[in-house]
Amino acid sequence: MATAANANKQSLKVGLIPGDGIGVEVIPAAKEAILALGSDIPKPEFVDLAAGFEHFTRHGTALPDETVQIMKEECDCALFGAVSSPTRKVVGYSSPIVALRKVLDLYANVRPVISVAADSSQKPAVDLVVVRENTECLYVKQEELKFTENGKEARATRLITERASRHIGQMAFEIAKGRPRKHVTIIHKSNVLSVTDGLFRETVREVPTLPELAGKYDDVTIAEQIVDSAVYRLFREPQIYDVMVAPNLYGDILSDAAAALVGSLGLVPSVNAGDKFIMGEPVHGSAPDIVGQNIANPLASIRSAALMLRFLGYTKGAERIDRAVEEVVREGRELTPDLGGKGTTTGVTEAVLKKI
């Protein structure tokens, strides 16, 4: 995603969408981490934007048109906190993060899952990237409920397209090409869903053979794995994976499961990436049970800011943030309860800022 235009920028305008729950507590930590970088990035400017279920309950819309307009016309990138989508049907409500991914064509959700080694000279025990298709699969949210003579019948449409599968496949190969192992594992269930998952599997496999990409990914090796066995092997032998590319639902489940291998969802970052826009987003949810207690883990949000900067081409700044987070986790003196510590959101943020 790095461009010459990025390199010449005098300022970097970042949209901040805290959303719901602990998003309001962790997005400010990411903002402070960006500010701490000084001259390693263009001068940051921030604009606060509204979205979320709480906004819906107050104003009747989860994603205001103004938020979308400002992101499209004014912002270079954005950070999204969390959303409290209800488990029950709420008339008129639709998840703003799902809507943003579609309206901004953020077709890839990139989720690195990296453990922190006890010594900085050691390799992490877990070092993989889940590349999740971000705009379709069951998340198109086309559902219907019917009443039949046998009772209620619910159906959901699952959409897999060649276009989206090719997009996410190329993103996965591009990421793998820049990593030491250069290996892509395609995750699917085409032994059962031969049409939809079959199309995803075949399209991703064909990416290196496309005429316009001929020879570009010759050094990347390809494997594939049925999704249920992939979950099993992820827990038994995570070291076999480098880049995992998956349809939307599988990628969502796999990345959350992988977070357990590194200690907490509170450590795992992501970006929603498209060809024209990048939006960082911590993988964790809104965590309503700990809202307002100052114990939410800010590290995933801070890491998401670093990942966003890396995609924009500001590698030096991103590395400074990543190293600071690793040092804080490695030292273990200031950690939130999800990582077994007694630290606070404020305390962890301050510890990272000192390291930066």
Residue-wise pLDDT tens digits, 211-261: 999 999 999 999 999 999 999 999 999 999 999 999 999 999 999 999 999
Tokens of 217: 């990914």
Give the residue-averaged pLDDT of 6-18.
Answer: 85
% residues pLDDT > 70 (the chain)? 98
Condensed to tens digits (0 to 9), the pLDDT of residues 88-120 reads 888 889 899 999 999 999 999 999 999 998 877
10 has a pLDDT exceeding 70: yes
Average pLDDT, the chain: 93
Give the residue-averaged pLDDT of 11-35.
Answer: 97
Q: What is the pTM of this model?
A: 0.92
Q: Where in the chain is the domain with CATH 3.40.718.10?
A: 1-108+263-356, 116-262
Amino acid 258: pLDDT: 93
Cβ contact 73:43 at 8 Å: no
Give the residue-averaged pLDDT of 167-180.
Answer: 96
CATH node for 1-108+263-356: 3.40.718.10
Condensed to tens digits (0 to 9), the pLDDT of residues 46-89 reads 999 999 999 999 999 999 999 999 999 999 999 999 999 887 88
Q: 226: Cβ–Cβ under 8 A, 6 or more apart, which residues?
A: 187, 188, 189, 191
Give the residue-averaged pLDDT of 30-43.
Answer: 95
Amino acid 123: pLDDT: 83
Tokens of 194: 């031969």
Q: For 167-198, give one letter per residue: b (16+ CB within 10 A) or e.
A: bbbbbbbbbbeebeebbbbbbbbbeebeebbe
Distance CA 196, CA 160 (A): 6
Give the residue-averaged pLDDT of 160-183.
Answer: 96
**Bigger pLDDT: 264 or 129?**
129
Neighbours of 162 (CB within 10 A): 12
What is the architecture, at CATH level 2, of domain 116-262? Answer: 3-Layer(aba) Sandwich (3.40)
Decide: helix, strand or coil at residue 121: coil
Query: How many residues comprise the chain?
Result: 356
Decide: helix, strand or coil at residue 279: strand
Condensed to tens digits (0 to 9), the pLDDT of residues 279-308 reads 999 999 999 999 999 999 999 999 999 999
Spatial CA neighbour of 133 closest among 157, 182, 93, 98: 98
4 has a pLDDT exceeding 50: no
% residues pLDDT > 90 (the chain)? 87
Give the residue-averaged pLDDT of 168-194.
Answer: 97
Which positions are annotated as active-site residues? 139, 189, 228, 252, 256
The pLDDT-based confidence of 7 (bands split at 50, 70, 90) is low
313 has a pLDDT exceeding 90: yes
The pLDDT-based confidence of 3 (bands split at 50, 70, 90) is very low
Give the residue-averaged pLDDT of 194-200.
Answer: 96
